[in-house]
Chains A and B, each alone.
Chain A
Amino acid sequence: MDAAALSSRFSALRDLAGKDMPTYETAGPDLLAVVKFLRDEQGFDLLADLCGVEWKDRTPRFGVVIHLLSTASKEYVRLHVPAVDDRVPSVSSLHPGANWHEREAYDMFGIRFDGHPDLRRILMWDAYPHHPLRKDFPLAGIEVPLPAADVAAITGQTVEPAPMMGGPFVSQGGRMSEGEPDALDQSWTEERPKS
């Protein structure tokens, strides 16, 4: 790809010096123009992935990462987009394949995609009140009512935190577990009842 053309066209673009592929951070308002430029003038015609990211100690807390592929030159480019006020413009008008990816990022992280044609939850049910992939959400879950009131009435069942029994069994040493302290057990077990 023509990195010089990209950076001269979009001066606000920040090069993150990606080790595996060209990586840029772009502000939300520029995103559509950047993706359109990459698609129409640089040949990045395939949206390979779009996902949400939570940066625990950063502001803004959430971001979106987009991978674009050029099917002609077999090159990738990665775009980081910080989600200011948890909002990011939707790229589904340029790449229709982004539609469900954006719904997933909304479902799991609560990132709103401005301009999305149908921003509903895609994995959890519509009335679910939480965003499960956020770092402050316990893996075991939080008790909420079942999605169907009639089934809940018959069975008396709720969506309850799963018993962890000392798990999840993550490695206790090394940098990965230090970086993921929230992965340690936060829930009740058979021995230790719910507080």
Chain B
Amino acid sequence: MVKTDFGYNSKVEGEVIVTRADAVVNWVRSHSVWPMPMGLACCAIELMAAGGSRFDISRFGMEVMRFSPRQADCMIVAGTVTYKMAEVVRRIYDQMAEPKWVVAMGACASSGGMYRSYATLQGVDNIVPVDIYISGCPPRPEALLDGMMLLQEKIRREGGSLRRTFKGRVVETKVVS
């Protein structure tokens, strides 16, 4: 499990928590992931199931599915990415505000899956950086939840959370006092 970064003793510190900025920012970010459902095939059905009451993705703070890339920070690529669709996927990824993450859900998004053919991109990591790969064809909602919780772990371990980035590069580091 995650190492706690809080050093808090109410008798010593009163109402002050001492911690690292990364820990606070990453804690907030990891519990308010706003996914963008990039539903391209049958994986999207499992993705919808994960959002329903039976599997209930909101238990982990990720239920705010946004269909606009500008309001989302995690693209879940759920399905087969064809070469014709690849440019759309990349363009939507470019429109998402940073920091942003990509989850390749299922065999097709991860590697092209069973589609070894002229029409199918052999893995969405050829066009966008992928953080989490989820196996399955399609993965069950539990597998998606597991992958999304792994993504939360990954977010919690990120450094430099106060840096501002654009297109993956740091543009300025500013600490407001």
The segment from B27-35, B45-53, B118-126, B131-139 found at the interface with A is B118-126
Q: Indicate the size class of the contact surface on chain A.
A: 20 to 34
Cα separation A164 to B87 with both chains bound (whole Å): 24
B87 CB to closest chain A CB (Å) equals 4
Q: Contact: B117 with A162, CB < 8 Å?
A: yes
Partner of A146, one of B86, B116, B119: B86
- A184 is an interface residue with CB less than 8 A from chain B: no
User: Are A146 and B117 touching (Cβ within 8 A)?
Assistant: no
Determine whether B24 belongs to the interface, using a CB cutoff of 8 Å to chain A. no
Q: Mark B88-125, 1 if CB is under 8 A from A, else 0.
A: 00110000000000000000000010011111111000
Cβ proximity bits A143-155 to B, threshold 8 Å, 1 near / 0 not: 0001110010011
A162-B118 contact in complex given A151-B90, A154-B90, A155-B126, C-beta closer than 8 Å: yes
Q: Check: A10 CB closer than 8 A to any chain B CB.
A: no
Least CB distance, B39 to chain A, in whole angstroms: 19
Looking at the assembled complex, report how far the CB atom of B133 sits from the nearest CB atom of chain A, in whole angstroms.
18
A42 to B117, CA, bound (A): 43
Instruction: Contact check, B90 vs A163: say whether CB atoms are below 8 A apart.
Output: no
Is A140 engaged at the interface, CB distance under 8 Å to the other chain? yes
A146 touches B118 (CB 8 A): no
CB < 8 Å neighbour of A162 from B84, B87, B91, B112: B112
By beta carbon, the residue of chain A nearest B112 is A162
Q: Is A97 an interface residue (CB 8 A)?
A: no
Question: In the bound complex, do residue A137 and residue B118 qualify as a contact, i.e. CB atoms below 8 Å apart?
Answer: yes
Cβ–Cβ < 8 Å partners of B42 in chain A: none
A148 touches B116 (CB 8 A): no
> Is B162 an interface residue when CB atoms closer than 8 A count as contact?
no
Chain B neighbourhood of A155, CB < 8 A: 90, 126-127
User: CB of A157 within 8 A of chain B?
Assistant: yes
> Contact between B86 and A163 (Cβ–Cβ < 8 Å)?
no
Given contacts A148-B87, A157-B86, A162-B112, is CB(A141)–CB(B118) below 8 Å? yes
Q: Give the complex CA separation of A138 and B116 in angstroms.
A: 11
User: Looking across the interface, which residue of chain B has its beta carbon closest to that of A133?
Assistant: B118
Q: Which residues of chain B have C-beta atoms less than 8 A from A125's C-beta?
A: 83-84
User: A151-B127, A155-B127, A157-B126 in contact; A124/B119 too (CB < 8 A)?
Assistant: yes
Residues of B within 8 A of A132 (CB): 118-119
Least CB separation from A141: chain B residue: B118
Name the B residues within 8 Å of A142 (CB-CB). Answer: 118
